[in-house]
Structures are given as structure tokens and as C-alpha cells.
Structure 1
Amino acid sequence: MASANLNVMIKAARKAGRSLVKDFREVENLQVSVKGAGDFVSKADQEAERIIKDELRGARPNYGWLGEETGEEAGEDPTRRWIVDPLDGTTNFLHGLPHWAISIALEHKKEIVAAVIFDAAKDELFVAEKGGGAFMNDQRMRVSGRRRLDESLFATGIPFAGRGPLPAALQDLARLMPLTAGVRRMGSAALDLAYVAAGRYDGYWERGNKPWDVAAGILLVREAGGFVEGIRDGDDPLESGRLIAANTQVFEPLAKIIRSRD
């Protein structure tokens, strides 16, 4: 049974999702402003964050806030904060590709304790609470059971428009791809992690993420029985943005390859 906090998160995600789906159907008419090279922010994105913020702060006004569009705000309760990406996969959204998601996490004393990732275009709701397992549309999720790299499908992100460590990403691909069943670059870190939790991908790695990209997904993977660690020893994957996530069988061989250059 979902906690009161998780129910608030689900309500916020679904409400924002309805707004985004409406705008997605009219994507060609969206007014888009440039936030940076290759990194766009739309009115739809901003409206989704406003909806989520109103819902979450309305229900829990004393919690802190960290959002991609509106930044960080301290709360009266210094131990709890919402971490929100209102539209992960903005470039996909703006090109009419139905692969984007809302990501909401609740952090308590520096640990993620509840997570929601909502793929509104496909109506897939991924949720987890610490110690309570992970679910997709009320069905329990488990990471895959594949044991061999040559049977495994992985996901990653590749830096674009001068953002992030492109040489490192290309070296990773050169070392890993010949040993696997394939690597996908789908453009949403939140959904990459949700898909690892659901067993659709066997693992995921990436450098250069922000906390709102991965906070919810980290908990999903762990509650589905997978491992998530920083790429470098001692890294906090949430704070560093450099992480590896996988099922228990392929985590070590994947990590060995990715860490061989760090």
C-alpha cells in the first residue's frame, strides 16, 4: 500500500502528465526558447514543473525543493526535499518522439525514499518506496536475470552539442559494444533507469547527469533488486552524476569495463 507521500507524488505526476500529453499532440505549435546549445526548454516543460510544484508544495509546504527549471529552495524541514525533472527527454518531446517522462523523488536525510517516473505518452507509471519494492502499473518489477554480457542490452547517454565528456563516452562504446547484444541511446536517463528496473535493459551507465535526472531511477533499480554505484570509487551517484546500474549478474563485468578508464 502506497504511503501518503507516494500518493501525493503520483497525483502530481499524473496531473502534469495530462498537461504534457496535450502539448505533445500539438508539438509543432509549441513556442520554444533556447536555454543552451542543443538544450531546449518549452512552455510545456515550465508548465509541468509549475503543476508539480503546486501539488507537492501544497501538500507538503515545509519540504525543500530541487527542480530542473526553478532550481533549489530550502524548506522549513531541512531533512526532506523533492527532486523533480518535469520533462526528462525534452529533445525527444520537441521532435515528436514519444519517449520522455516526469521524474519525482523524495529525499530524506540525503537518501531517496520514494520515487515516481511517469511515461505519460505510453501511460506507464513506475513507482518505488524504500523497502517496499518497485512497481510498474501496479505490477511488481524485477531486474533481468541475464548473466552474460553477450546476451545483455545496455543503455547510456552520449554527450551532444559540446556538453559533457564525449571522448570518454565514445571510448566506453568502443570497449563495450563488441561484447554485448547492443547499446541504446534513447535520450531519457529517467526511463533508462526505469527500464533497468523493469528488466528491459540489463544495465545502464552515464557521466554528467544531474540529480533530477537520476534520483527517482536510482531507487527504482535498487528496489527492483539491482545495483547502482558511482563510476569512480567513493562517488555518490546522485551527487556526482556518474553512475552504473545493472542487474546483479552483469554489474561487475559492466563496471570493470566502464571503470577501466576512470
Structure 2
Amino acid sequence: MKEIAGRDAAALLEGCVRLVRQAGAMIRERWAAPSQVTHKGAVDLVTDTDLAVEAFLKEGLARLLPGSAFLAEESSAPEGPAADSGPCWIIDPVDGTTNFVHRLGQVSTSVALWADGAVQLGVVNGPMLGPEGECFSALRGEGAFLNGRRIAVSRAAALTDALACTGFPYELAGRLELVLERLARVLPATQGIRRLGSAALDLAFVAAGRLDVFYEDWLKPWDLAAGWLLVEEAGGSVSGLDGAPFRFGDALLATNGPLHQPMVALLGPTVERM
């Protein structure tokens, strides 16, 4: 029996999926009602739903794994957990808050459990994707799943066959040169680029073979922790843009595997990071 922090890993994942789906029901219930919106930055938003979902998840996850720590978007500093830290839940209650405010369906809840120096389980739920939502889940060493069905990355072997995806930082003005320089490299080399607005879903879609490539800089641990595990458990690759092992705070590159080195060659030698 696989264990995490002395607990049955499969039971922890099952409990996490249950809580994240319940959080998704909260988002669906609030979809038709006006949101109470405040600004964390010029275009960085937080709603009453973000706060309510985060509080619900922290309460439920604390019961699921007593003594665990939390790294959550609306109530934590942005640093990732230390490699030798104890079990820590990494939570994004509503990834894609701007989409949620505008009632665009690409919103998700992302929860990962960090322990023993790595993400051990991850869940990304898109509550507005289809009548039952789309819940992606993974347990380290056990594969990745969508609504209980195993998923795998795509088999695209050439960038000309690849659909790429990226995202943009909230503080865009001082980073525009780098964002546009990367777009200028990727756009002509691939079938196209999408910007969906939820990094957690972007990574889940790479895991499911819907996207072939995802890259983005300036992400926080809660944006990507669960999706990182999903991609790797679905057979894909995750690294920094230069191909080095990924660490929280790095610019992230996730691919189906065959496209990884071509993307490193495309994006690695880039202008200085701002």
C-alpha cells in the first residue's frame, strides 16, 4: 500500500477529489449570481467565491490530513514549500478568476499535496466544463485520470503538428518585450497558440492530449503544482525553459515529451528574463 505522510495515498486522493468536486459545486452555484470583486493589483482580481472556496478546502483538507501545512493563493506568501518540509497542501481555489468574473468556462480549482520533496498527488477540476465538470487527478507513480478514466499526452512529433498554449503575467508592461519575443518564436513554428486563462487547466489539457505544449513564466506554486504532476503521470515532460529540472519560481515548459527538446531549442536561448 502506497503511503503519504503515513496515510493511505489512494484514500488521500479519493478524499481530495471529493472535496475539490464539492468546491466545484460551490462555483457552479455562484455562477449565475453577481460576484463581489476586489483588486489585488491593477488587473489581478479576487472574488468572494475565491475566498469561500479556499476556506472550505482548507477546513476539509485539514481534517483529511491532520497536521499538514497550507500554501494557498488568497492567504499565503508565494514561495513554494522547502524540499524537506512536511506535507503541505498547495491550493488555488479559483484558477482563472478573471474568466470567472466574465463567466467564461475556463476556470478551475487546483489542489496538490507536497511531501518528501515532490508533489505526491494532484487534482484539477473544471466545474463548468460539461454537465458533470472535468476532474483531472493523479497520484505519483499511478498515472493520470479524467473523471476516473486514464489519460495520456498526445503523440505529436513535430512542432508543425503542435497546438501550443501560454499565459501572460498580470504585471505585463515591464515584461512585454520578453512575452512578445517568445510569441514571435512559437507562433510561426507551431499550428498556433491558445491563451485560455487558467494555467492549471492548460497543464491538465496537455496531460489529456488536447494541447501539445504549454509554457509560461511568473507562475506561482498554486498555479502549477497539480498540473505538473498530471503532465508527468500522463507521460509528458516538465522542465524549465532551458530544459533544466523544474523548480518553483522557474519559467515552466510542459510538453508531450517528443516535442520537449525542440521547444527547449526554440525558447531556451531567449532575451534576459525581466
Aligned-partner residue type, residue 94 of structure 1: V
Partner of 2:229: 219
Q: Which moved more, 1:244-253 or 1:218-227?
A: 244-253
* Distance of 1:52 and 1:164 partners within structure 2: 35
Q: Secondary structure at the match of 1:178?
A: helix
Decide whether aligned partners of structure 1 residues 96 and 15 sit closer, same or farther in structure 2, where only a CA change above 3 A counts: same
- Where do 5+ consecutive residues of structure 2 fail to align? 2-8
Do the aligned partners of 1:79 and 1:109 also contact (CA within 8 Å) in 2? yes
Instruction: Please say if residues 48 and 86 of structure 1, whose CA atoms lie closer than 8 Å, have aligned partners that are also in contact.
Output: yes
Deviations 1:36-60 (A, max 9, x none): 1101100011000011011001221
Aligned partner of 2:95 among 69, 79, 88: 88
Residue equivalent to 1:250: 259
- Shift in alpha-carbon separation, 1:175–1:200, aligned structure 2, 3 A: same
Letter in 2 for 1:193: L
Identity of aligned residues (%): 39
Q: 2:65 aligns with which of 43, 55, 60?
A: 60
Instruction: Please state how far the C-alpha of 1:164 moved relative to its aligned partner.
Output: 6.8
Residue 151, structure 1, aligned to residue 161, structure 2: yes
State the superposition RMSD in angstroms: 2.0
Amino acid at match of 2:31: F
The answer on whether the counterparts of 1:63 and 1:78 sit within 8 Å (CA) in structure 2 is: no
Unaligned runs of 5+ in 1: none
Are 1:22 and 2:29 an aligned pair?
yes
* 1:124 alignment partner, one of 134, 142, 165: 134
CA distance in 2, matches of 1:68, 1:200: 27
CA contact (8 A) 2:108 2:125 kept: yes
Deviations 1:215-241 (A, max 9, x none): 00000000000000012464633x124
- Residue 45 of structure 2 is aligned with which of 40, 44, 53? 40
1:240 aligned onto 2:236: no
> Whole-Å Cα distance in 1 between the matches of residues 119 and 176 of structure 2?
29
Using structure 1 for the length normalisation, give the TM-score: 0.93
Alpha-carbon distance change, 172 to 196 in structure 1, aligned in 2, over 3 angstroms: same
Q: How many Å separate the matches in 2 of 1:214 and 1:252? A: 21
Superposition TM-score, scaled by structure 2 size: 0.89
Check whether the contact 2:72–2:222 (CA below 8 A) recurs between aligned residues.
yes
| Offset, 1:163 | 6.6
Check 1:86–1:164 CA distance in 2 against 1; reply closer, same or farther (3 A cut): farther
Contact 1:229 1:236 in 2 (8 A): yes
Instruction: Give the aligned partner of residue 6 of structure 1.
Output: 13
Q: Deviations over 1:70-124 (max 9, x none)?
A: 116x9xx942110000000000000010110000000112200100000011100
Q: What's the CA shift for 1:151?
A: 1.0
Secondary structure class of the residue paired with 2:40? strand
Distance in 1 of aligned mates of 2:42 and 2:125 = 27
| Aligned equivalents of 1:8, 1:185: Cα separation in 2 | 31
Please tell me the residue identity of whatever aligns with 2:75.
T
Number of paired residues? Answer: 257
